């Protein structure tokens, strides 16, 4: 067992984990943050996407021990004071989901995308979401949601 | 996944010590190839030696002024290469290649040293390293790209040898074109073309069991740098992989098309 300390959604944790524990297992099974989903478990679908030190990563392709000392943000930490993040609102209003399984990963990746590129083209959004698979929507409304959220954030509105 | 001992040495020398005499130990860089392999039990290391805490492996720097080499540390991520102003200005073809590896999440974790040590036959970086005539710098020596890739997932690295940086001579022009597999984003075929004062180099990834150069096309392009030269190029059949979902004829055709696109992108 290894003892690691990390911040998850601004809260400090010290946990004992086996070396082989994946970051997603730490989040879901040890910390009970089940908003992060396991879709494929082969690091292809992106449903498990979280931020590690502000960058989106697939938490099924990273060991928990690698996150020692890091700040992790999950979908539970994106909204504040019970208020949805503009990206979450845009997924809602643009109907950017159907079954919703891929949505937490989509929202985390898409939010990092518009932070780094506040005014993306449709092509840049599609390229930026290549690591997130959705089997329901055909992506059109997801792309629309990301562009809408980018516009909202640029306008300073919440 | 089998359990293992996890180590985070603070120096390259300590990492080498942990690898020495332990055939079942493996190095961990960004883990974007290694973690999926471990999860499938395709490798069952007794020890994982993480390079993450070793200082000095994450730098991008130019050596010897404006005309000097561009040196990229082994732990620099694909995203850092793609978005580095220095790489974009000095070798834009390399920055563009890095920006097309895998997907955004993989580019945030995966590293240049990890990719080269893994030596996947369909990875993008091997094409850049070979076409640009780069040098792989390890804890004990420098290896020319021409001597580095020895076979399928095989390199000239010793079992306890660690890549610390990659040294790229800066070309006049370079570009990479790939036909990505739609699911994995690995190259079905990728071609990197580099035009330097000393001539043209062309490297092909994805099409064979390891990255290889197209010397006939290099000679034609050194004489006349025009995309039409790629129409005449014949890929040695022995260089092409067989038995996959792509026939050798299809791969040879894709090599021509990707070569033409890369040459055009160099203009």
Q: What is the pLDDT of residues B200-241, one digit of tens each?
A: 999 999 999 999 999 999 999 999 999 999 988 888 888 898
Nearest one of B53, B47, B22 to B34, comparing CA atoms: B47
Give the domain extent around B58.
5-168
Is a pLDDT exceeding 80 seen at residue B66? no
Average pLDDT across chain A, whole number:
96
How many domains are contained in chain B? 2
Question: Domain boundary residue among B116, B146, B168?
Answer: B168
Are B37 and B160 in the same domain? yes
Question: Domain boundary residue among A57, A77, A97?
Answer: A77
Are B153 and B69 in the same domain? yes
The CATH number assigned to the domain holding A71 equals 3.10.20.30
Question: Domain boundary residue among B140, B168, B196?
Answer: B168
This model of the complex carries an ipTM of: 0.96
Cα distance from A77 to chain B (closest Cα, Å)? 19
The CATH number assigned to the domain holding B257 equals 3.30.390.50
Are B128 and B234 in the same domain? no
Are B12 and B88 in the same domain? yes
Q: Is the dihedral of CA B83, B192, B163, B123 positive or negative?
A: positive
Are A12 and A50 in the same domain? yes
At residue B245 the predicted structure's pLDDT band, cuts being 50, 70 and 90, is confident
Residue of A nearest to B103 (CA): A131
pLDDT tens-place string over residues A100-152:
999 999 999 999 999 999 999 999 999 999 999 999 999 999 999 999 999 99
At residue A157 the predicted structure's pLDDT band, cuts being 50, 70 and 90, is low
Task: Report how far residue B106's alpha carbon sits from residue B241's, in angstroms, rounded to the nearest whole number.
Answer: 26
- List the structure tokens of B134: 């780069």
Q: Taking CB atoms and an 8 Å limit, are A62 and B50 in contact across chains?
A: no
Structure confidence at residue B197 (pLDDT) = 85
By the CB < 8 Å criterion, does A75 face chain B? Answer: no
Q: Taking CB atoms and an 8 Å limit, are A46 and B105 in contact across chains?
A: yes
Query: Which residues have a Cβ under 8 Å from the Cβ of B140 and sit 6 or more positions away?
Result: B161
By the CB < 8 Å criterion, does A56 face chain B? Answer: yes
How many domains are contained in chain A? 2
Are A53 and A24 in the same domain? yes
The CATH number assigned to the domain holding B47 equals 3.30.465.10
Structure confidence at residue B256 (pLDDT) = 95
At residue B157 the predicted structure's pLDDT band, cuts being 50, 70 and 90, is very high
Are B221 and B148 in the same domain? no
Q: Taking CB atoms and an 8 Å limit, are B108 and A57 in contact across chains?
A: yes
The CATH number assigned to the domain holding A142 equals 1.10.150.120
Q: Give chain B's contact residues with A (Cβ, < 8 Å).
A: 1-6, 28, 31-32, 35-36, 38-40, 48, 50, 52, 79, 102-106, 108-109, 183-185
Question: How many helices and strands, by DSSP H and E, does chain A display?
Answer: 5, 5
Query: Which residues have a Cβ under 8 Å from the Cβ of A123 and sit 6 or more positions away?
Result: none
Are A114 and A54 in the same domain? no
Give the domain extent around A39.
2-77
Q: Taking CB atoms and an 8 Å limit, are A130 and B52 in contact across chains?
A: no
Cα distance from B181 to chain A (closest Cα, Å)? 12
Structure confidence at residue A113 (pLDDT) = 98
Cα distance from A82 to chain B (closest Cα, Å)? 28
Is a pLDDT exceeding 70 seen at residue A61? yes
Task: Report how far residue B158's alpha carbon sits from residue B149's, in angstroms, rounded to the nearest whole number.
Answer: 13
Question: Domain boundary residue among B115, B149, B168?
Answer: B168
Environment class of A93 (CB within 10 Å of its CB; exposed 0-12, middle 13-18, buried 19+): middle
| Cα of A116 vs its chain's centroid, Å | 15
């Amino acid at each position: 067992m290894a003892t690691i300390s990390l911040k998850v959604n601004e809260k400090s944790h010290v946990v004992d984990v086996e070396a082989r524990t994946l970051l997603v297992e730490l989040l879901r099974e040890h910390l009970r943050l089940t908003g992060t989903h396991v879709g494929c478990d082969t690091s292809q679908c992106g449903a498990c996407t979280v931020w590690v030190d502000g960058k989106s990563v697939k938490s099924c392709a990273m060991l928990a021990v690698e996150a020692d000392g890091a700040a992790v943000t999950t979908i539970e930490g994106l909204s504040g004071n019970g208020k949805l993040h503009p990206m979450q609102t845009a997924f809602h209003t643009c109907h950017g989901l159907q079954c919703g399984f891929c949505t937490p990963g989509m929202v985390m990746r898409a939010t990092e995308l518009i932070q780094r590129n506040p005014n993306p083209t449709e092509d840049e959004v599609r390229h930026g979401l290549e690591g997130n698979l959705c089997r329901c929507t055909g992506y059109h409304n997801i792309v629309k949601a990301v562009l809408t959220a980018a516009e909202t954030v640029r306008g300073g509105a919440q | 996944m089998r359990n293992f001992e996890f180590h985070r040495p603070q120096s390259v020398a300590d990492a080498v010590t942990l690898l020495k005499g332990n055939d079942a130990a493996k190095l961990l860089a960004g883990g974007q190839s290694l973690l999926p392999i471990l999860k499938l039990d395709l490798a069952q290391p007794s020890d994982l030696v993480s390079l993450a805490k070793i200082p000095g492996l994450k730098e991008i720097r130019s050596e010897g002024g404006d005309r000097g080499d561009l040196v990229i540390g082994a732990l620099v991520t694909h995203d850092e290469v793609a978005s580095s102003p220095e790489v974009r200005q000095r070798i834009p073809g390399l920055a563009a290649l890095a920006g097309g590896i895998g997907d955004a999440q993989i580019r945030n974790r995966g590293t240049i040293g990890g990719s080269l040590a893994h030596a996947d036959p369909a990875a993008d970086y091997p094409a850049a390293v070979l076409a640009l005539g780069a040098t792989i710098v390890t804890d004990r020596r420098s290896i020319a790209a021409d001597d580095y890739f020895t076979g399928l997932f095989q390199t000239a690295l010793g079992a306890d040898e660690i890549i610390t940086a990659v040294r790229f001579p800066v070309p006049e022009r370079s570009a990479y074109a790939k036909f990505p597999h739609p699911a994995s984003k690995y190259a079905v075929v990728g071609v990197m073309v580099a035009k330097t004062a000393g001539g043209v180099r062309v490297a092909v990834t994805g099409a064979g069991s390891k990255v290889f150069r197209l010397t006939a096309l290099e000679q034609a392009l050194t004489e006349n740098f025009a995309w039409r030269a790629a129409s005449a190029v014949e890929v040695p059949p022995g260089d092409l992989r067989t038995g996959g979902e792509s026939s050798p004829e299809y791969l040879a055709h894709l090599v021509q098309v990707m070569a033409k696109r890369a040459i055009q992108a160099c203009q």
